[in-house]
Structure 1
Amino acid sequence: MGTGAPGRGQPERSGRDFTPVPYPTQTERLAAHVVGLRYEAIPRPAVDKMKEHIVHHLGLALRGLSTQEGRQAVRIAESFGHEGSATIIGRRDRTAPMEAAFANTTLMRSDFLDDVLFPAGVHAALVTLPPALAVAEERRRSGKELLTALIAAYDVIGKLGSPAGMASARAPRRPTIPFGPFGGAAAVARLLGLSEHRTAHALGYAAHSGMGLSEGDFVTHYYGLVARNGLMAAVAADHGGQAALAVMEGRFGFWNTFFTGVPASLDDSLDTLGTDFEIMNATTKRYPGTGLNIVPIELATRLVHDHALAAANTRSVTLFLPVERKHFVTGHMHPPFQSEAAARSSSVLAIATVLATGRLDPDLVMDYTRPGLLELCDRISVVLEEGHPIRYARVEIDTSDGRRLVAEGHDHAFDPADWLDWLSVGGTDVLGWDALTGLVTAMERLEDIDNVADLTALLRPRYRDPVPTTD
Structure 2
Amino acid sequence: MTAAGTATITQRLSEHVVGLRFRDISPDAVAKTKDLLIHHIASALRGRSTTSGRQAIGIARELSPTGGQCTIIGQNFGANLLDAVLANSSLMASAGTADFLLPPGINPGVAAQPVAWAVGEITRSTGRELLAAVAIGYDVMAKLHGTVWTWDLDVPRPLKFVIEPFGAAATAARLLGLTVEQTVWALGHAGQAGMGVYEGSEYLSFMHPLAARNGIMAATLAKAGVPASSTIIEGRHGVHRTFFLEDVPDALYDGLATLGQEFEISRAQANRSATSVLNVIPVALAQQLVAEHQLSADHIASIQLTLPAERRSREKAYYSYSHRGPRYLLAIIVTGGQINVTRFDEAAGPDVLAMAAKISLRFEDGHSIYYARVDVNTTDGQRYSAEGDRHDQSPLSWEEQLGGAGADLLSGVKLRRLADQLRHLEDVDDISEVMACLRPGESAPTGGHTI
AA paired with 1:240? G
Tell me by how many angstroms 1:132 deviates.
Answer: 1.0
2:427 pairs, out of 435, 441, 448, with 448
Tell me by how many angstroms 1:408 deviates.
Answer: 3.7
2:387 maps to 407
Query: 3-state SS of the aligned residue for 1:77?
Result: helix
2:373 maps to 395
Determine if the alignment matches structure 1 residue 290 to structure 2 residue 270. Answer: no
The 5 A counterparts of 1:1-150 are 12=1, 22-78=5-61, 79-150=63-134
- The more displaced of 52-61 and 145-154 is 52-61
Determine if the alignment matches structure 1 residue 222 to structure 2 residue 207. Answer: yes
2:402 maps to 423
Quick one: structure 1 residues 268 and 380, their matched pair in 2 at CA, closer, same or farther if it must change by over 3 Å? farther
Query: 3-state SS of the aligned residue for 1:431?
Result: coil
CA distance in 2, matches of 1:74, 1:172: 32
1:257 maps to 242
The 5 A counterparts of 1:231-380 are 231-264=216-249, 265-301=251-287, 308=293, 310-311=295-296, 312=299, 316-323=303-310, 326-329=313-316, 332-334=319-321, 342-343=322-323, 345-355=324-334, 368-371=348-351, 373-380=352-359
CA distance in 2, matches of 1:60, 1:77: 18
1:33-75 Cα offsets, whole Å, 9 max, x none, are: 2223222222223222221211121122223334443333233
CA distance in 2, matches of 1:332, 1:74: 28
CA distance in 2, matches of 1:128, 1:321: 31
Tell me by how many angstroms 1:363 deviates.
Answer: 7.2
Tell me by how many angstroms 1:298 deviates.
Answer: 3.5
Determine if the alignment matches structure 1 residue 193 to structure 2 residue 180. Answer: no
CA contact (8 A) 2:306 2:364 kept: no
Tell me by how many angstroms 1:267 deviates.
Answer: 2.0
- The more displaced of 443-452 and 63-72 is 63-72
CA distance in 1, matches of 2:64, 2:56: 12
Query: 3-state SS of the aligned residue for 2:147?
Result: helix
CA contact (8 A) 2:127 2:428 kept: yes
1:320-342 Cα offsets, whole Å, 9 max, x none, are: 234355145477525xxxxxxx3
Quick one: structure 1 residues 103 and 443, their matched pair in 2 at CA, closer, same or farther if it must change by over 3 Å? same
Tell me by how many angstroms 1:215 deviates.
Answer: 2.0
TM-score with structure 2 length normalisation?
0.85
CA contact (8 A) 1:143 1:452 kept: yes
1:339 maps to none
CA distance in 1, matches of 2:412, 2:184: 43
1:378-407 Cα offsets, whole Å, 9 max, x none, are: 443213456766x33231526667767452
Tell me by how many angstroms 1:149 deviates.
Answer: 0.9
1:154 maps to 138
CA contact (8 A) 1:316 1:380 kept: yes
Query: 3-state SS of the aligned residue for 1:416?
Result: coil
Quick one: structure 1 residues 30 and 363, their matched pair in 2 at CA, closer, same or farther if it must change by over 3 Å? closer
AA paired with 2:327? V
Tell me by how many angstroms 1:189 deviates.
Answer: 1.0
2:150 maps to 166
CA distance in 1, matches of 2:405, 2:382: 47
Query: 3-state SS of the aligned residue for 1:117?
Result: coil
- Could you say what the CA RMSD is over the residues aligned between the two structures, in angstroms? 3.1
Quick one: structure 1 residues 298 and 33, their matched pair in 2 at CA, closer, same or farther if it must change by over 3 Å? farther
TM-score with structure 1 length normalisation?
0.82
Unaligned runs of 5+ residues in structure 1 are: 1-11, 14-19, 335-341, 465-471
- The more displaced of 398-407 and 30-39 is 398-407
Quick one: structure 1 residues 359 and 222, their matched pair in 2 at CA, closer, same or farther if it must change by over 3 Å? closer
CA contact (8 A) 2:302 2:359 kept: no
1:183 pairs, out of 167, 172, 177, with 167
Quick one: structure 1 residues 281 and 413, their matched pair in 2 at CA, closer, same or farther if it must change by over 3 Å? farther
- The more displaced of 380-389 and 220-229 is 380-389
AA paired with 1:48? A
CA distance in 2, matches of 1:387, 1:182: 34
Query: 3-state SS of the aligned residue for 2:304?
Result: strand
AA paired with 1:351? L
CA contact (8 A) 1:163 1:263 kept: no
CA contact (8 A) 1:310 1:356 kept: no
Unaligned runs of 5+ residues in structure 2 are: 444-451
CA contact (8 A) 2:151 2:157 kept: no
Query: 3-state SS of the aligned residue for 2:75?
Result: coil
CA distance in 2, matches of 1:223, 1:382: 29
CA contact (8 A) 1:104 1:130 kept: yes
Count how many residue pairs are aligned between Structure 1 and Structure 2.
Answer: 435
1:435 pairs, out of 390, 406, 414, with 414
Quick one: structure 1 residues 223 and 363, their matched pair in 2 at CA, closer, same or farther if it must change by over 3 Å? closer
Q: Percent identity?
A: 34
Quick one: structure 1 residues 88 and 385, their matched pair in 2 at CA, closer, same or farther if it must change by over 3 Å? same
Quick one: structure 1 residues 99 and 404, their matched pair in 2 at CA, closer, same or farther if it must change by over 3 Å? closer
CA distance in 1, matches of 2:75, 2:150: 38
